[in-house]
Amino acid sequence: MRVGSPGLDRSAVVWVGAALALVALMALPLGWLVALSVSGERGITLDHYRAVLSDVALRKAVWNTLVLAFWVGLGSIAIGAPLAWLTARTDVPARRTIRTLVLASFVTPPFLGAFAWVMLAGPNAGLLNKMWRGVTGADEALLNIFSMPGLIFVVTLYTFPYVYIMIANTLALIASDLEEAASILGASRLAVALTVTLPMVLPALVSGFILAVLQALALFGSPAILALPAGFHTITTQIWSFFHFPPKTEMAAAFSIPLLLATALLLLVQKRILGRRGYAAIGGKGGQRRAIALGRWRWPAFAGCLVVMACSIFLPYGILAKAALSRAWAQPLTWDNLTLANFSFTFFEYGATHDAIVNTLELGVATATIGAGLVALLAYITTRRLVRGHQLIGFLALAPVVIPGVVLAVALFIAYTRPPLVLYGTLAILFIAYLTKEMPVGYAQSDATFRGIPPELEDAGRILGAGRLRILRDVTAPLARSGIIAAWCFIFIGVIRELSASIILFTPATKVMSVVIFDLKEEGQFGAIAVLGLVMLVLTFATVAIVQAALGRDVLGVRE
């Protein structure tokens, strides 16, 4: 279908722009990544792959990653699915508050959680271990967070919301009638759950499992904080260590490709599963959802939710606040120990933190602003089918979702440390990394926004005499405003917490908050870490609040 006047010139401009952006953001870096992974001194070689595959330590890292991802996936289902069911379908107390707290763990940067758990359950000074020793008089630590189970535990705490979202959104679409229809035919409660409810949420469950696995595969911060001291690597930390002097870029490239392929494959599987999810929604509209009475299980269920929230929110946030306000974080918070020195140190005395805050805010605002503008333009073009091949634009805008942050960073590092564009060492390379990484989230949000504005609203103005640009200003922009603000916020939140790409691309002059937090750990500056962490959390929650006000719903996207 062609639209309006013959639009060759207009399509050309859009396509040239999109193509250029695409080359800069994806094709060039990924091309270099592949090229370097097979380049030897004499032409093409598979030596790097061979080296990677034959190295016992690297194979161990792969194995560790698989173990981590698998258990995080299972753990996320074990926590996320019951929590979603409890808050969506039962009369468990304080459902709204629990939802809000799940949202809080969703937006908490996982590496902050990992830090907090170091302070809580480190084998020597960890608060919980000290309490355990105090109570029992034992010498041994109760918990050792520097271990594979510890790592799985902490990663799961901040990954289960992905499963929660999938399940809660699906449950919200299943009308109670569907279950009651089975009850009236004689099915017991258990039979209803097994034959009706479970099959309908199964695609969401599997899909949530895959999302959780993907998160665990791509995660850098938590493994770096918890696995390295425990003496083991994951793929991401291994890739990072290739950049220690002397850098082995080719090895990093060769080690990145399998991770990239695994991610792409898993997402493909997930899309397949979700693509058939439609039936969960059939007849769901308008159907009523009645809360199931838990009876005597009501309070035990609530206690279970409370334990999860304690582990992911209350305890970590508490210890961060305590560390921020005390001279020695491991000591009790007495008047003597109380101080604001950590704040003045972080904001005014320690040069690196001050610069990092400024850099992070600059990058956050720049990426969010340019990114929101870009995704709004792309989504407008694709939803209104303004150019031929608009489907391709949509696909490409979502494509970066398959690139783990560390892999993206390796690719950008390779591409932009050499002519024609030497961007390494500037904020620009971080900007490109963030823009690429956050594009899919922003695009998905913008796409939903423009889909929500019926084209007739624009047509109605056209036929009354307004040109396309005029309509964009008078009708489309005002209606899309809140959705675009939300896209801005999503991108901004993503940028300020970004660690896995930043950790490879930063230079001393271009540190960002997450990187500085990571550095401070080496120096043992837990007070400053806590202060920076709180700043990050305050920024995040303020932005989330803006999203909620703009969209009139919470960012988990569950309709009430």
Report the interface residues with other proteins, using CB under 8 A. 1-6, 454, 456-457, 459-467, 474-475, 478-479
Distances (CA, A) of 86 to 141, 158, 188, 265, 303: 34, 19, 19, 32, 12
CB of 456 to other proteins, least distance (A): 4
Nearer to other proteins, 42 or 285 (CB): 285
Per-residue CA distances from 183 to 174, 256, 281, 529 (Å): 15, 51, 20, 54
| 456 or 522: CB nearest other proteins | 456
Degrees to nearest 5, angle at CA 306 with 333 and 129: 45
- Give 17 or 478: the residue with its C-beta nearer to other proteins: 478
CB-wise, 187 or 466, nearer to other proteins? 466
Closer residue to other proteins in complex, CB, 290/473:
473
**Nearest Cα to 208, choosing from 556, 559, 492?**
556
C-alpha distance across the termini of the chain, in Å: 38
Query: Which residue, 179 or 458, is less far from other proteins as judged by CB?
Result: 458
Q: At residue 234, what is the residue type?
A: T
Let me know: does 436 contact 26? Beta carbons within 8 Å: yes
Q: Which is nearer to other proteins, 7 or 425 (CB)?
A: 7
- What CA–CA distance (Å, rounded) separates 207 from 273? 7
Minimum distance of other proteins from residue 468's CB (angstroms): 8
CA dihedral of residues 478, 480, 485, 489 (deg, nearest 10): 180
Q: How far is the CB of 392 from other proteins (least distance, A)?
A: 18
Compute the least distance from the CB of residue 8 to other proteins, in Å.
13
Of the pair 275, 465, the CB lying nearest other proteins is at 465
Provide the minimum distance between the beta carbon of 382 and other proteins in the complex, in angstroms, as a whole number: 18
Min CB(285)–other proteins separation in Å: 17
CB of 479 to other proteins, least distance (A): 6
User: Which of 382, 108, 88 has its CA nearest to residue 222?
Assistant: 108
3-state per-residue secondary structure call for 98-146:
HHHHHHHHHHCCHHHHHHHHHHHHCCCCCHHHHHHHHHHCCCCCCCCCC
| Residue 246: Cβ-neighbour burial (10 angstroms; 0-12, 13-18, 19+) | exposed
Residue 303 or 464: the one with the smaller Cβ distance to other proteins is 464
- Shortest Cβ distance from residue 485 to other proteins (Å)? 15
Nearer to other proteins, 130 or 385 (CB): 385
CA dist list (Å): 449 to 398, 433, 454: 16, 25, 10
Peptide bond into 93 cis (omega under 30): no
Q: Count CB-CB contacts under 10 A for residue 381.
A: 20
How far apart are CB 471 and other proteins at their closest, in Å? 9
Q: Would residue 299 be called left, alpha or beta, if left means φ above 0 and alpha means ψ between -120 and 50 degrees?
A: alpha
Contact 449, 379 (CB under 8 A): yes
Q: Please answer whether residues 260 and 406 qualify as being in contact, where contact means their C-beta atoms are separated by less than 8 angstroms.
A: no
d(CA 410, CA 252): 7
* Pick 130 or 384: Cβ nearer other proteins: 384
Nearest approach in angstroms of CB 2 to other proteins is: 5
- In whole angstroms, give the CA distance from residue 171 to residue 99: 14
Contact 106, 208 (CB under 8 A): no
Shortest separation between residue 451's beta carbon and other proteins, angstroms: 15
Q: Report the nearest approach of other proteins to the CB of residue 1 (Å).
A: 7
Separation of alpha carbons 559 and 169, rounded Å: 7
Whole-number Å distance between alpha carbons of 425 and 505:
8
Q: What is the CA 125 to chain-centroid distance, rounded?
A: 30
Helix (H) or strand (E) run with residue 421 in it: none
Smallest gap, in angstroms, from Cβ of residue 466 to other proteins? Answer: 6
- CB nearer to other proteins: give 3 or 13: 3
Q: Which SS3 state, helix, strand or coil, does residue 220 take?
A: coil
Of 210 and 471, nearer to other proteins (C-beta) is 471
